[in-house]
Structure 1
Amino acid sequence: MAIYTESLNQDRNAGINCENTASNASRSWIPSDWTAGDDCVRRGKSQSHFDCSPSDSNACFYGQLDIQTLGGAGFASQRTTGDDRSWDVSGYDSIQLDTGEADKKRYTFIIKDKLLQMNPGNGREQSTISYEYDFSISSKMANSNGTFIFIPWKDFKATYRGKEEKEVSALDRKKIKRFSTTMRSFFSDQEGPFPLPIRPIKAVPLPNDPEKNVLGASVDLLKLFGQEQSPRTSSRQPRWLVPILGIVTGCWLFCNTGYPWLMKQSCHLRCRPRLDLLTLFQLPTTL
């Protein structure tokens, strides 16, 4: 993936830049900046690949997720390389994923702000806190011009070895150490081949028009993106609606209660004199 952020190490940015920076326009994918992190470290058989080129903004994260070898578990991942790298995204509000049409499988975008040395006992990387966000893209949601997914920082979930952690410090956005995209089994929920076409990933401000080309756009967007309506907008909306609702409600009440009551009273008024006259004529008269 090309993740556009402001790199503290500008000569090795992995195609990682910040939005609204003029010098970022020419940056693109660097294949050597990405490597696999599959379940083979746990003797699994899943495989992932990342097909990209410095001359093309389109890339593809794909592979095969195997869950049989590890008894229902399994993962395939592509991540940035190098432990000495760091990115500062503190001046931005969210991560923007720009994807093409994909399968309905669930993917996970992961950020780390801390890396440890390899374990001298087994040569494996030691675990640290990950900040994760799960997403999926169906054919109905996909847009031919790109499907944008905006992920505010608050929507990243802190986990440790796959389990959510509540009592952890906030993501240090000044010193991001790693980005990765992962395909997981989610406890035997999915397996097999997967393709995720992807375009440059960016650290961006919140969009001016979040409802355009956003995955799962809905009435909850204002809450999702942390935006509030201005008093001018919120005060105008209900004024024209209140009188219309009043008129409609009044008509409904009249037709269902008022009109039948009036008809009944009218009938009583018409019938009462006739009954009184008949009674009068039937009574005996006295001289």
Structure 2
Amino acid sequence: MASISRKYLFGGDKRWSTSDWTACDDRVRGGASISYLAIKSSTTTITNPEQNQDQPENESNSVLFYGKLDASTLGGAGFASHRNKTNTIDWNLADYDGIELQIGESDGKRYVFIIKDEILPKRPDGRNRTSVNWEYEFVIPSSETMREGNVVRLRWKDFRPTYRGRLKDDLKRELNVAGIKRVTIMMRSFFGYQEGGFELEIKSIAAFKEEEEDSETTLPAIQDTAGQQEAGIDREAAIVTRAESARSRPGERQRPGSLLRRLWSACCGY
């Protein structure tokens, strides 16, 4: 069993605050999707034997990323997202293996986690300049079929670079893990593959490092929740790997440089 060390970016010992985040939804381009980020607090109680009453202990919090995804207004190019809004952040994560998401309740839909290692100055007209995104798609089985407490570990090598809506597999440089500046959680329509209400509870976002080799068998990549149920996986979130995602990304297999990603680039500085 591997020993894991963590540097919390949000959650854990870095308590969540919605003031650190801002929405970027397709409404800025005339769409109808909308997303929210709300604090979900929880408190463990203990009984004081002297006073015979419960007292709070170890108060913690998580966030709910939720909203409604519209897949029709923009011709299937719907998206809703939240990102941290502090442009002065510069996380040096060079000593870590990747990003760890601790997930609570899930709706079983496909989400995207995006990181940026470069934020360019805005244009003279105030618009954001586009820089390279590093993306990872994942699916967490529905809470109805999976216990809470799923951990998703996204290794640096599996983040896929994109620029102005196009994959940049020929990019000459690697992700600068010593200078991570922004993280984004996103819900995409994948051109009608998914739509409607969505909700994902995120307990923490952290950089992680394995101190030793894990002897457990790695879970296989699963394309959808139906497949996950058939596989009988009941202990950890199934992650869509880089290769699997490239083969089976819904709605984009024949859409190089998709309109959806171009919309993100134009309106959110993605």
Q: TM-score, normalised by structure 1?
A: 0.63
Counterpart position of 1:183: 187
What pairs up with 1:182-221 in 2 under 5 angstroms? 182-206=186-210, 209=214, 211=216, 213-216=235-238
**Structure 2 CA distance for aligned equivalents of residues 151 and 207 of structure 1:** 16
- Higher Rg: 1
Judging changes above 3 Å, is the alpha-carbon distance between structure 1 residues 88 and 210 closer, same or farther for their aligned structure 2 residues? farther
Q: Secondary structure at the match of 2:106?
A: coil
**Structure 2 CA distance for aligned equivalents of residues 49 and 210 of structure 1:** 39
**1:210: Cα distance to partner?**
7.1
Counterpart position of 2:106: 102
Asked if 1:144 corresponds to 2:147, the answer is yes
Structure 2 unmatched ranges of 5 or more: 42-58, 218-234, 242-270
**1:145: Cα distance to partner?**
4.0
**1:203: Cα distance to partner?**
0.4
What pairs up with 1:28-43 in 2 under 5 angstroms? 28-43=15-30
**Structure 1 CA distance for aligned equivalents of residues 169 and 86 of structure 2:** 28
Match of 1:164 among 135, 157, 167: 167
**1:120: Cα distance to partner?**
2.6
What pairs up with 1:29-68 in 2 under 5 angstroms? 29-52=16-39, 56-68=60-72
What pairs up with 1:68-87 in 2 under 5 angstroms? 68-87=72-91
* More contact order relative to length (CA 8 Å, sep ≥ 6): 2
Q: Secondary structure at the match of 2:129?
A: coil
**Structure 2 CA distance for aligned equivalents of residues 63 and 25 of structure 1:** 24
1:208-235 deviation digits (Å, cap 9, x = unpaired): 5474943239xx9xxxxxxxxxxxxxxx
Judging changes above 3 Å, is the alpha-carbon distance between structure 1 residues 141 and 134 closer, same or farther for their aligned structure 2 residues? farther
**Conservation of the 8 A alpha-carbon contact between 1:110 and 1:181:** yes
Question: Where is the strand percentage greater, Structure 1 or Structure 2?
Answer: 2
**Structure 1 CA distance for aligned equivalents of residues 154 and 130 of structure 2:** 24
**Structure 2 CA distance for aligned equivalents of residues 194 and 53 of structure 1:** 16
Q: Secondary structure at the match of 1:144?
A: coil
**Conservation of the 8 A alpha-carbon contact between 1:38 and 1:75:** yes
**1:103: Cα distance to partner?**
1.6
Runs ≥4 residues deviating over 6 A: none
**1:52: Cα distance to partner?**
1.6
Match of 2:135 among 103, 124, 132: 132
Judging changes above 3 Å, is the alpha-carbon distance between structure 1 residues 100 and 140 closer, same or farther for their aligned structure 2 residues? closer
State the identity %: 41
Q: Secondary structure at the match of 2:19?
A: helix
Judging changes above 3 Å, is the alpha-carbon distance between structure 1 residues 140 and 5 closer, same or farther for their aligned structure 2 residues? closer
Question: Where is the helix percentage greater, Structure 1 or Structure 2?
Answer: 1
Q: Which amino acid aligns with 2:193?
A: D
Compute the RMSD of aligned alpha carbons: 2.7
**Conservation of the 8 A alpha-carbon contact between 2:141 and 2:237:** no
Q: Which amino acid aligns with 2:62?
A: N
What pairs up with 1:187-266 in 2 under 5 angstroms? 187-206=191-210, 209=214, 211=216, 213-216=235-238
Structure 1 unmatched ranges of 5 or more: 7-14, 18-23, 221-287
Judging changes above 3 Å, is the alpha-carbon distance between structure 1 residues 106 and 26 closer, same or farther for their aligned structure 2 residues? closer
Q: TM-score, normalised by structure 2?
A: 0.66
Q: Which amino acid aligns with 1:99?
A: I
**1:186: Cα distance to partner?**
1.1
**Structure 2 CA distance for aligned equivalents of residues 5 and 84 of structure 1:** 22
Judging changes above 3 Å, is the alpha-carbon distance between structure 1 residues 139 and 211 closer, same or farther for their aligned structure 2 residues? farther
Counterpart position of 2:9: 16
